[in-house]
Amino acid sequence: MFHKEGYKILGFSLLAFLIINILSYSFIDILWLQSAVLIITAVLFLLVVQFFRNPQRKTVINDSTIVSPVDGKVVVIEEVFEKEFFKEKRLQVSVFMSPINVHVTRYPVNGVVTYSKYHPGKYLVAWHPKSSEENERTTVVVKNKAFGEILYRQVAGALAKRIVNYAKVNDKAVQGDDSGFIKFGSRVDLYLPLNTKLNIKLNEKVKGGVSVIAKQ
Size (the chain), residues: 216
- DSSP E strands in 98-215: the ranges are 104-106, 111-119, 137-144, 148-156, 163-165, 172-173, 178-182, 186-192, 197-198, 205-206, 212-215
Which residues on adjacent β-strands are paired with residue 149?
143
Q: Using the Cα atoms of residue 83, residue 85, residue 88 and residue 92 in order, give the sign of their dihedral.
A: negative
From the list 68, 131, 132, 186, the catalytic residue is 186
98 classed as catalytic:
no
Cα separation of the two ends of the chain: 33
Catalytic machinery residues: 186
